[in-house]
Amino acid sequence: MRKLLVFVALLLISAGSLAHAQKIELGVVGGGLFSGASNTTGAIEGSLAYRVFGVPMAALYFELPIAGGLSNSTGATPLLTCVIPCTIVTSYSSLFVGPGVKLKLAGGLPISPFVTLGAGVAHFSQTRVSGNTSTNSALVQYGGGLDWKIAPFIALRGEVRDYYSGPAIGTGARQHNVLAGAGIVLRF
Protein backbone atom coordinates (compact mmCIF):
# COMPACT_ATOMS: atom_id res chain seq x y z
CA MET A 1 0.00 0.00 0.00
CA ARG A 2 2.85 2.36 0.84
CA LYS A 3 4.46 1.75 -2.58
CA LEU A 4 1.15 2.57 -4.27
CA LEU A 5 0.88 5.88 -2.37
CA VAL A 6 4.46 6.81 -3.29
CA PHE A 7 3.74 5.93 -6.94
CA VAL A 8 0.56 8.07 -6.98
CA ALA A 9 2.40 10.98 -5.32
CA LEU A 10 5.20 10.84 -7.91
CA LEU A 11 2.64 10.65 -10.71
CA LEU A 12 0.84 13.75 -9.42
CA ILE A 13 4.09 15.67 -9.01
CA SER A 14 5.21 14.80 -12.54
CA ALA A 15 1.80 15.74 -13.96
CA GLY A 16 2.03 19.10 -12.20
CA SER A 17 5.50 19.77 -13.60
CA LEU A 18 4.35 18.72 -17.08
CA ALA A 19 1.43 21.14 -16.85
CA HIS A 20 3.86 23.91 -15.90
CA ALA A 21 6.17 22.99 -18.79
CA GLN A 22 3.41 23.27 -21.42
CA LYS A 23 4.44 25.88 -23.98
CA ILE A 24 1.91 25.45 -26.79
CA GLU A 25 -1.84 26.18 -26.79
CA LEU A 26 -4.16 25.12 -29.58
CA GLY A 27 -7.61 26.70 -29.28
CA VAL A 28 -10.85 26.46 -31.24
CA VAL A 29 -13.67 28.93 -30.57
CA GLY A 30 -17.11 29.12 -32.17
CA GLY A 31 -19.60 31.91 -31.80
CA GLY A 32 -21.05 34.98 -33.45
CA LEU A 33 -19.44 37.63 -35.61
CA PHE A 34 -20.89 41.12 -35.32
CA SER A 35 -19.75 43.30 -38.25
CA GLY A 36 -20.65 46.97 -38.48
CA ALA A 37 -24.34 47.49 -39.11
CA SER A 38 -24.67 44.11 -40.84
CA ASN A 39 -26.48 41.08 -39.55
CA THR A 40 -24.79 38.74 -37.11
CA THR A 41 -23.36 35.57 -38.58
CA GLY A 42 -21.71 32.44 -37.27
CA ALA A 43 -17.94 32.33 -36.97
CA ILE A 44 -15.16 29.94 -36.03
CA GLU A 45 -11.67 30.78 -34.87
CA GLY A 46 -8.57 28.67 -34.45
CA SER A 47 -5.48 29.91 -32.66
CA LEU A 48 -2.01 28.57 -32.08
CA ALA A 49 0.00 30.19 -29.28
CA TYR A 50 3.60 29.58 -28.22
CA ARG A 51 4.86 30.78 -24.82
CA VAL A 52 8.03 32.85 -25.27
CA PHE A 53 8.39 34.12 -21.71
CA GLY A 54 6.83 33.18 -18.39
CA VAL A 55 7.01 33.89 -14.68
CA PRO A 56 4.78 32.29 -12.03
CA MET A 57 1.79 34.66 -12.47
CA ALA A 58 2.17 35.87 -16.08
CA ALA A 59 3.20 34.52 -19.48
CA LEU A 60 3.75 36.15 -22.85
CA TYR A 61 2.78 34.18 -25.96
CA PHE A 62 3.25 34.66 -29.69
CA GLU A 63 -0.19 33.88 -31.14
CA LEU A 64 -1.57 33.19 -34.60
CA PRO A 65 -5.39 33.47 -34.65
CA ILE A 66 -7.32 32.70 -37.83
CA ALA A 67 -11.05 33.43 -37.85
CA GLY A 68 -13.70 32.95 -40.50
CA GLY A 69 -17.15 34.44 -40.72
CA LEU A 70 -19.76 32.38 -42.52
CA SER A 71 -21.88 33.79 -45.31
CA ASN A 72 -23.44 37.05 -44.14
CA SER A 73 -26.47 38.39 -46.00
CA THR A 74 -26.44 42.13 -46.66
CA GLY A 75 -30.21 42.29 -47.00
CA ALA A 76 -29.85 43.91 -50.43
CA THR A 77 -32.13 42.68 -53.18
CA PRO A 78 -31.30 43.33 -56.83
CA LEU A 79 -33.68 45.72 -58.50
CA LEU A 80 -35.25 44.84 -61.81
CA THR A 81 -33.70 48.00 -63.21
CA CYS A 82 -30.17 47.03 -62.23
CA VAL A 83 -27.84 47.88 -65.11
CA ILE A 84 -25.21 45.27 -66.10
CA PRO A 85 -22.68 45.02 -64.60
CA CYS A 86 -24.75 45.14 -61.44
CA THR A 87 -22.58 45.79 -58.37
CA ILE A 88 -25.14 45.04 -55.66
CA VAL A 89 -23.57 42.80 -52.99
CA THR A 90 -26.08 40.24 -51.69
CA SER A 91 -23.79 38.43 -49.23
CA TYR A 92 -20.17 38.12 -48.14
CA SER A 93 -17.90 35.92 -46.06
CA SER A 94 -14.79 36.96 -44.18
CA LEU A 95 -11.41 35.58 -43.15
CA PHE A 96 -9.15 37.26 -40.58
CA VAL A 97 -5.49 36.47 -39.89
CA GLY A 98 -4.01 38.58 -37.10
CA PRO A 99 -0.73 37.34 -35.58
CA GLY A 100 0.33 39.07 -32.40
CA VAL A 101 1.02 38.67 -28.72
CA LYS A 102 -1.08 37.36 -25.86
CA LEU A 103 -0.50 38.14 -22.19
CA LYS A 104 -1.94 35.46 -19.91
CA LEU A 105 -2.22 36.06 -16.18
CA ALA A 106 -2.42 33.50 -13.36
CA GLY A 107 -1.60 30.59 -15.68
CA GLY A 108 -1.19 28.18 -12.76
CA LEU A 109 -4.67 28.87 -11.37
CA PRO A 110 -7.91 27.20 -12.53
CA ILE A 111 -9.16 30.42 -14.19
CA SER A 112 -6.67 32.46 -16.25
CA PRO A 113 -7.56 35.78 -17.90
CA PHE A 114 -5.75 36.93 -21.03
CA VAL A 115 -5.51 39.91 -23.38
CA THR A 116 -4.33 39.87 -26.98
CA LEU A 117 -3.10 42.40 -29.55
CA GLY A 118 -1.91 41.96 -33.13
CA ALA A 119 -2.05 43.07 -36.76
CA GLY A 120 -2.65 41.24 -40.00
CA VAL A 121 -4.97 40.99 -42.98
CA ALA A 122 -8.71 40.63 -43.59
CA HIS A 123 -10.11 38.96 -46.72
CA PHE A 124 -13.73 39.47 -47.78
CA SER A 125 -15.39 37.36 -50.51
CA GLN A 126 -18.44 39.11 -51.93
CA THR A 127 -21.35 37.60 -53.85
CA ARG A 128 -22.68 40.14 -56.32
CA VAL A 129 -25.53 39.94 -58.80
CA SER A 130 -23.02 40.11 -61.68
CA GLY A 131 -20.49 37.66 -60.16
CA ASN A 132 -18.19 37.15 -57.22
CA THR A 133 -15.32 39.37 -56.16
CA SER A 134 -13.00 39.75 -53.18
CA THR A 135 -11.08 42.43 -51.32
CA ASN A 136 -8.25 42.52 -48.80
CA SER A 137 -7.61 44.97 -45.99
CA ALA A 138 -5.11 45.51 -43.20
CA LEU A 139 -6.47 44.81 -39.72
CA VAL A 140 -5.70 45.29 -36.07
CA GLN A 141 -6.98 42.65 -33.66
CA TYR A 142 -7.41 43.03 -29.93
CA GLY A 143 -9.45 41.33 -27.26
CA GLY A 144 -9.48 39.24 -24.14
CA GLY A 145 -11.00 36.28 -22.42
CA LEU A 146 -10.79 33.57 -19.80
CA ASP A 147 -9.43 30.02 -19.83
CA TRP A 148 -10.95 27.62 -17.30
CA LYS A 149 -8.87 24.49 -16.74
CA ILE A 150 -10.91 21.30 -16.58
CA ALA A 151 -7.97 18.85 -16.85
CA PRO A 152 -4.16 19.17 -16.90
CA PHE A 153 -4.05 19.55 -20.69
CA ILE A 154 -7.57 20.86 -21.47
CA ALA A 155 -9.32 24.16 -20.77
CA LEU A 156 -12.58 25.81 -21.76
CA ARG A 157 -12.24 29.27 -23.30
CA GLY A 158 -14.54 32.26 -23.54
CA GLU A 159 -13.35 35.28 -25.48
CA VAL A 160 -14.27 38.48 -27.25
CA ARG A 161 -11.97 39.67 -30.02
CA ASP A 162 -12.30 42.64 -32.38
CA TYR A 163 -10.83 42.38 -35.88
CA TYR A 164 -10.82 46.08 -36.86
CA SER A 165 -10.48 46.20 -40.65
CA GLY A 166 -11.47 47.97 -43.82
CA PRO A 167 -15.07 47.66 -45.00
CA ALA A 168 -16.43 44.33 -46.16
CA ILE A 169 -18.48 45.99 -48.87
CA GLY A 170 -17.39 48.87 -51.07
CA THR A 171 -15.20 51.67 -49.82
CA GLY A 172 -15.49 53.86 -46.81
CA ALA A 173 -14.80 53.81 -43.12
CA ARG A 174 -13.11 50.96 -41.30
CA GLN A 175 -15.38 48.58 -39.40
CA HIS A 176 -15.34 46.54 -36.21
CA ASN A 177 -15.74 42.76 -36.68
CA VAL A 178 -16.33 41.51 -33.14
CA LEU A 179 -16.14 37.77 -32.55
CA ALA A 180 -17.68 36.58 -29.28
CA GLY A 181 -17.57 32.89 -28.56
CA ALA A 182 -16.58 29.90 -26.50
CA GLY A 183 -14.53 26.81 -27.17
CA ILE A 184 -11.79 24.48 -26.04
CA VAL A 185 -8.01 24.76 -25.59
CA LEU A 186 -5.48 21.94 -25.72
CA ARG A 187 -2.13 22.60 -24.04
CA PHE A 188 1.01 20.63 -24.70
- The DSSP code for 39 is P
Instruction: Output the pTM of the full model.
Output: 0.80
d(CA 9, CA 158): 33
Residue-level pLDDT, tens digit, the chain, 188 residues: 566 565 655 544 444 444 456 899 999 999 999 986 566 889 999 999 999 999 989 999 999 999 998 876 655 555 544 555 555 666 778 999 999 999 999 988 999 999 999 999 999 888 766 667 788 999 999 999 999 999 989 999 999 999 999 887 766 788 899 999 999 999 99
pLDDT score recorded for residue 88: 60
Q: What is the CA radius of gyration of the chain?
A: 21
Residue 167 neighbours by CB under 8 Å, 6+ apart: 36, 137, 173, 174, 175
Return the CATH fold of 24-70+99-119+139-187. Porin (2.40.160)
